[in-house]
Structure 1
Amino acid sequence: MTMTKLTAFALTTALTAGVAFADGHEDRTGWPESFTVGTASQGGTYFAYGSGWANLVADELGLTGGGEVTGGPMQNMALVHTGEAQFGMTTMGPAAESLAGTNPIAPGLQMTNACAMFPMYQTPFSVTALSSSGIASVADIPDGARIGFGPAGSTSDTYFPRMMEELGVNFERRNGGWTDLGGQLQDGLLDLIAFAAGIPIPAVSQLEVQTDVNIIEFTAEEQAQIMAAFPVSEFNIPANTYSTLEADARSVSMWNFAIANCDLPASFVYAVVDTVMSDNDRMVSIHRAAQSTTPDNWDKNGVMMWHPGAAQWFTEHAGAEIPADMIHGDM
């Protein structure tokens, strides 16, 4: 595969109408007056993180924009592909399934008009229970446990039930927004919540304030078993993430990327990426998970085509070498 700098690609016709002027003035031809970022349910990291960068971009670029509550990564791929949302957030697993046409929202539809925009953070998979339950490990989970897996179609709901089955857990599946599930756990209506979300998860932080919880880590053997069966990698949740943790908690994770409708003007997406990626301190002030929202993580996308405007930014500012056949419109 030939590797190419997008500086060469920028000279082709695909970007001639969408690059920034040499004197620093933006060409806003075709820019929308407003935009929407598909996030997930309230109480989860996607909503807090996505609403935050949407507001940041809106303020910086003088546009109207904001986050929208959705069902999470699977629905976001569909919304961005169809153009119902200009931007969204997804994880690599749901992205791959959507591109392959196995997204349960629209089976058979290959959602190829959702393009990679910038790296966000890793999504750790973790389990939380009330300390009073006595559940402190996966082995402690009782037969038929009522487990909340987040919104239907979310990354957690897509993969965590399969992971639990892989580990031999027999459970009753429940769905809902993270805030609602946190309330159900506290009220004794659930035995556990299986979270897949950037850390710290607002719902878990809130639970810690109100009651004693156990954040359950995987054993080394369980971690290896899950990594062998699913598109995830090794991850440790740092001890300082939650007041409950006394040491790093063994987990697995999946990368998240912001996505853009592939038909958006290159200059618009370039400006959005520049706003988000140029000042990590501002992003971290929105959510601590943004510590990983840095240019050097551009290479964590091996699934989606890049939006030309995003590819241009990472080539110019991160030294990215993006294959031409991974840039939308350069086929």
Structure 2
Amino acid sequence: MKLIATLAISALAATTAFADGHQDRTGWPESFTVATASQGGTYFAYGSGWANLVAEELGLTGGGEVTGGPGQNMALVHTGDAQFGMTTMGPAAEAIAGLSPIAPGLAMTNACAMFPMYQTPFSVTALSSSGITSIAEIPAGSRIGFGPAGSTSDTYFPRMMETLGVEFDRRNGSWSDLGGQLQDGLIDVIAFAAGVPVPAVSQLEVQTDVNIIEFTQAEQATIMGAFPVAPFDIAASTYSTLEADARSVSMWNFAIANCDLPDSMVNAVVDIIMSDNERMMNIHKAARSTLPENWTKNAGVIAWHPGAAQWFIDNAGADIPADQIHSK
């Protein structure tokens, strides 16, 4: 069953050209969904927030849908079961190449890039009472929660842990469920791959003492050499638990659209999201990176939706090669 976040059915005030009907809406659907991820994670909070914002501004019915995360989102948007979604570059590249574990052999080329979201840092959290303060201190056989099955975290973090020599018992579940299991002693560690602050970690901080564990310089270098990630520091201001920036690695996230959606609709959506970063920051702090200049972070991984590409060309001076724009 689809769980749809709070719906914003119509605009209360026609503040833009989109809301007052001055734009060609030929072929627009009357409603839309944004494929997000599990509750308790950044994808759900961020995705449901911009879905509601777009629904209000455009006078449509829309909301966020709980999913298994980036890999499943590529499939849902590719097939048109969801109009919009969010994905991470690693799973997106695998899906486009037909290597997704969701549907092996299916090249998901009908999911198009729409706008840059933010970086997903990979971080580890344990209860302070566990005594675990570093990756090396994770005992062999520890029960580690890697998020929903098929998510970015579940796809990459187990392999990262194996690369670092950690022996573990793999567990899956929504971030909020895993947070509860950690607090109850049912698992020992959570390996998060989610935009920060992760709601589940923020909730844990309120209820108990936790250790947010960073990578050592050597561990960071090892991971960067083996996986499509970049260096990243989780700012000390992100969590009350942190006393200094925490060394991490990250992977970029992009919003995606079904490639068959009308150019005018996708252009309108991108304009709403990219034109007012303060409004996006009010939805989630991870949106500090949802900026026009970050269109470059796609780097040819996902073909651009023509409506989105035109917005970045017109408003961000983007030089997007024609062969990186989806041709209908």
What's the TM-score bracket when you normalise by the shorter of the two chains? Answer: over 0.9
Which amino acid letter does the alignment assign opposite residue 227 of structure 1? M
Which amino acid letter does the alignment assign opposite residue 253 of structure 1? S
Which amino acid letter does the alignment assign opposite residue 137 of structure 2? D
Counterpart residue number, 2:129: 132
Pair 1:293 & 2:275 matched: no
Q: Deviations over 1:52-94 (max 9, x none)?
A: 0000000000000000000000000000000000000000000
How far apart in 1 are the matches of 2:204 and 2:85? 27
How far apart in 1 are the matches of 2:302 and 2:276? 25
Please list, as runs of the form range in 1=range in 2, the aligned pairs for 1:15-26 lying within 5 A after superposition.
25-26=22-23
Counterpart residue number, 2:317: 319
* Count of matched residue pairs: 309
How far apart in 2 are the matches of 1:288 and 1:260? 23
How far apart in 1 are the matches of 2:34 and 2:55? 11
Counterpart residue number, 1:78: 75
Pair 1:51 & 2:48 matched: yes
Counterpart residue number, 2:302: 304
| Counterpart selection for 1:270 from 267, 271, 289 | 267
Normalising by structure 1, what TM-score?
Answer: 0.92
Please state whether the residue corresponding to 2:280 is helix, strand or coil: helix
How far apart in 2 are the matches of 1:100 and 1:210? 43
Stretches (4+) displaced over 2 A? none
Q: Which has the higher contact order (CA 8 A, sep 6+)?
A: 1
Please state whether the residue corresponding to 1:270 is helix, strand or coil: helix
| Counterpart selection for 1:104 from 94, 101, 106 | 101
Please state whether the residue corresponding to 1:65 is helix, strand or coil: strand
How far apart in 2 are the matches of 1:268 and 1:204? 36
| Counterpart selection for 1:223 from 217, 220, 227 | 220
How far apart in 1 are the matches of 2:58 and 2:258? 18
Which amino acid letter does the alignment assign opposite residue 50 of structure 1? G
Q: In the TM superposition, what is the alpha-carbon distance from 1:229 to its structure 2 partner?
A: 0.1
Aligned-pair identity in percent equals 82
Please state whether the residue corresponding to 2:281 is helix, strand or coil: helix
Counterpart residue number, 1:177: 174
Counterpart residue number, 1:33: 30
Pair 1:186 & 2:180 matched: no
| Counterpart selection for 1:90 from 87, 112, 115 | 87
Which amino acid letter does the alignment assign opposite residue 286 of structure 1? I
Unaligned runs of 5+ in 2: 1-16
How far apart in 2 are the matches of 1:99 and 1:197? 22
How far apart in 1 are the matches of 2:204 and 2:214? 17
Q: In the TM superposition, what is the alpha-carbon distance from 1:26 to its structure 2 partner?
A: 1.1
How far apart in 2 are the matches of 1:29 and 1:61? 14
Please list, as runs of the form range in 1=range in 2, the aligned pairs for 1:130-169 lying within 5 A after superposition.
130-169=127-166
How far apart in 1 are the matches of 2:326 and 2:256? 12
How far apart in 2 are the matches of 1:122 and 1:25? 35
Pair 1:328 & 2:315 matched: no
How far apart in 2 are the matches of 1:48 and 1:304? 24
How large is the RMSD of aligned CA atoms in angstroms? 1.1
Which amino acid letter does the alignment assign opposite residue 232 of structure 2? F
Please state whether the residue corresponding to 2:105 is helix, strand or coil: coil
Please state whether the residue corresponding to 2:200 is helix, strand or coil: helix
How far apart in 1 are the matches of 2:87 and 2:96? 12
Which amino acid letter does the alignment assign opposite residue 56 of structure 1? L
How far apart in 2 are the matches of 1:43 and 1:280? 23
Q: In the TM superposition, what is the alpha-carbon distance from 1:276 to its structure 2 partner?
A: 0.5
Q: Deviations over 1:200-251 (max 9, x none)?
A: 0000000000000000000000000000000000000000000000000000
Counterpart residue number, 1:115: 112
Please state whether the residue corresponding to 2:143 is helix, strand or coil: strand
How far apart in 2 are the matches of 1:315 and 1:298? 10
How far apart in 2 are the matches of 1:225 and 1:280? 35
Please state whether the residue corresponding to 1:147 is helix, strand or coil: strand
Normalising by structure 2, what TM-score?
Answer: 0.93
Which amino acid letter does the alignment assign opposite residue 259 of structure 2? C
Please list, as runs of the form range in 1=range in 2, the aligned pairs for 1:200-211 lying within 5 A after superposition.
200-211=197-208
Pair 1:234 & 2:231 matched: yes
Q: Deviations over 1:117-173 (max 9, x none)?
A: 000000000000000000000010000010000000000000000000000000000
How far apart in 1 are the matches of 2:120 and 2:82? 22
Pair 1:281 & 2:281 matched: no
How far apart in 2 are the matches of 1:290 and 1:139? 32
Counterpart residue number, 1:9: none
Please state whether the residue corresponding to 1:275 is helix, strand or coil: helix
Which amino acid letter does the alignment assign opposite residue 314 of structure 1? F
Counterpart residue number, 1:246: 243
How far apart in 1 are the matches of 2:22 and 2:183? 53
Q: In the TM superposition, what is the alpha-carbon distance from 1:25 to its structure 2 partner?
A: 2.9
